[in-house]
Structure 1
Amino acid sequence: MPRKKKAVIREVLPDPIYQDVVLSKFINCLMKKGKKSIAEKIVYGAFDIIEEKTKQPPLEVFKTAINNVRPQLKVVSRRVGGSNYQIPMEVSEKNGQALAFRWIITYARARNEKSMDEKLAAELIAASKNEGASIKKREDTHKMAEANKAFAHLRF
């Protein structure tokens, strides 16, 4: 955290094909070692597969998948009186979107399909239908927050 000035939040340019800022942020999140062109090829290849399989616009499938995976609550560990408590907190829209991106990418990489295009397409299709590993992660997070609702008064 800076002492003098607030950190400047840079504006993300929309992606070249769909002109969408959220998709551009997703591509940046998928990117490894600065190889943006490869990340773009993976995402656009996955979008082609999504369009082929679902016969729907891939951007709509992507948006519904992100909205389905985005959590409303999370638990934050806080030390009070020598013991740690898992305190449920509401997730901001920006942070929730980042968590959704991270979970979708993580579980897409863990899938068994051949190429990353196919893995990402399968995970996005599953998430848009409210199934799959990333949806299970959101449900587990919500269950944990619900179970620790008694510690909500320790919020900071």
Structure 2
Amino acid sequence: MSRPGTAEEKTAKSDPIYRNRLVNILVNRILKHGKKSLAYQILYRAMKKIQQKTETNPLSVLRQVIRGVTPDIAVKASV
């Protein structure tokens, strides 16, 4: 009996409004109790406030913020 083929790697889908994978990944992190529509509402409301206060593209602000909190060096535990 032959082995089944390997599964295809899933790609992250983009969100409906901004068409950006980063936004979708962030929504999946915000997700609570499986309520994705609520997570989208929270994020879109925050993006609208960012646009009103800074008068710049909220996606560029989001990229800057995520780049700022991402660690520069990955630390591996020694065994």
Normalised by the length of structure 1, the TM-score is 0.44
Q: Percent identity among equivalent residues?
A: 33
The answer for the alignment partner of 1:27 in structure 2 is: 27
Q: Could you say what the CA RMSD is over the residues aligned between the two structures, in angstroms?
A: 1.8
Q: Which aligned pairs between 1:43-82 and structure 2 lie closer than 5 A?
A: 43-79=43-79
How far, CA to CA, are the matches of 1:20 and 1:52 in structure 2?
Answer: 20
SS in structure 2 at match of 1:77: coil
Q: 1:89-143, CA deviations, whole angstroms, 9 ceiling, x for partnerless residues?
A: xxxxxxxxxxxxxxxxxxxxxxxxxxxxxxxxxxxxxxxxxxxxxxxxxxxxxxx
Q: Kindly provide the amino acid, as one letter, of the partner of residue 14 in structure 2.
A: P
Relative contact order higher in (CA < 8 Å, ≥ 6 apart): 1
SS of the counterpart of 1:75?
Answer: coil
Point out where structure 1 has 5 or more consecutive residues left out of the alignment.
80-156
Normalising by structure 2, report the TM-score: 0.81
Structure holding more helix per residue = 1
The secondary structure found in structure 2 opposite 1:19 is coil
1:69 CA drift (Å): 1.8
2:38 maps to what in 1? 38
CA distance in 2, matches of 1:69, 1:7: 33
Structure-2 change in CA distance of 1:7 and 1:32 (3 Å): farther
Q: Which has the higher strand share?
A: 1
- Equivalent positions of 1:1-156 (< 5 A) are 8-79=8-79
- Return the alpha-carbon distance in structure 2 between the equivalents of residues 7 and 26 of structure 1: 25
**C-alpha deviation, 1:8, in angstroms:** 4.6
For the residue of structure 2 that corresponds to 1:9, the secondary structure is coil
